[in-house]
Amino acid sequence: MPPLWLTVLAWIFLAAAFASAAVILVDIYARRYRLRMRVMEAVWPVTALYFGPAAVWAYWRFGRVTSRKWLEEKGLEEPPEKPKWATVAVGVSHCGAGCTLGDIIAEFAVFGLGLSIAGTALWFEYVGDYLLAVALGLAFQYFAIAPMRGLGFRKGIAAAAKADILSLSAFEVGLFGWMALMSFVFFPAPHLHPDSPVYWFLMQIGMIIGFATAWPANVWLIRRGIKEAM
């Protein structure tokens, strides 16, 4: 069993993450700061599930300023230009949102079905995580690219695949490496499961690592014009 101090720390970070996601959702939907790119209304709160208060700061600095209401309040036609690092960060968060949702769904599905090989569910989690990350990542990217480029469904999906497969794969490389450490080094026996707060606290760390490993891929994709700067 995880030590008590780690369980307490996990609950603190998870509570901060849920509170951060709630703050963003309330600002978007209750206070009506609806974002110009509607898919980002899902991306920002999902990002808060692993970055916590840091995501709230980033949303306030680079997300909220794209809302029509904010622009009208400031008397502006266009949002302030973001620094290059922020453009990359928003791009990574976009692919990271699909990966994160895919991971959450897959982890609970594998746990609920009791799937495992040689006493570990890790291999099933890898497959489920990646397949759902691709499906959700393509959906997120499609709803970003297709409206901006005026593309139909077939061309929009093709463009989304070019923009997101490399990015989400790089994200999962970092996360999967961390998950291997969780299973074979940190808690080799008994393994942690998704019914433990410590499991999700460690997954938050893994998602931040995935964010870092996806960064170079996004820099390259944006520079080549394969992925839209958001």
Distance CA 204, CA 99 (A): 12
Rounded to a whole number of angstroms, the CA Rg of the chain reads 18
Residue 111 confidence class, pLDDT cut points 50, 70, 90: very high
Average pLDDT value for residue range 34-48: 94
pTM above 0.85, yes or no: yes
* Bridge partners (DSSP) listed for residue 120: 117
Maximum alpha-carbon separation in the chain = 62
How many angstroms from the chain centroid is the CA of residue 213?
13
> In the chain, where are the structural domains located?
4-223
State pLDDT tens for residues 171-199.
999 999 999 999 999 998 778 999 999 99
**How many other CB atoms are found less than 10 A from the CB of residue 5?**
8
CB 96 within 8 A of CB 140: no
3-state secondary structure 189-215: CCCCCCCCHHHHHHHHHHHHHHHHHHH
Per the prediction, the chain carries an average pLDDT of: 93
Q: Which DSSP letter does residue 29 get?
A: I
Q: Is the pLDDT of residue 107 over 80?
A: yes
Higher pLDDT, residue 204 or 38:
204
Place of tokens 């299973």: 183
The token duo for 222 is 């944006």
Task: Scan for tokens 């978007």, then name that residue.
Answer: 28
Q: Environment class of residue 3 by beta-carbon count within 10 Å: exposed (0-12), middle (13-18) or buried (19+)?
A: exposed
Encode pLDDT of 46-84 as tens digits.
999 999 999 999 999 999 999 999 999 999 999 999 999
Amino acid at 102: G
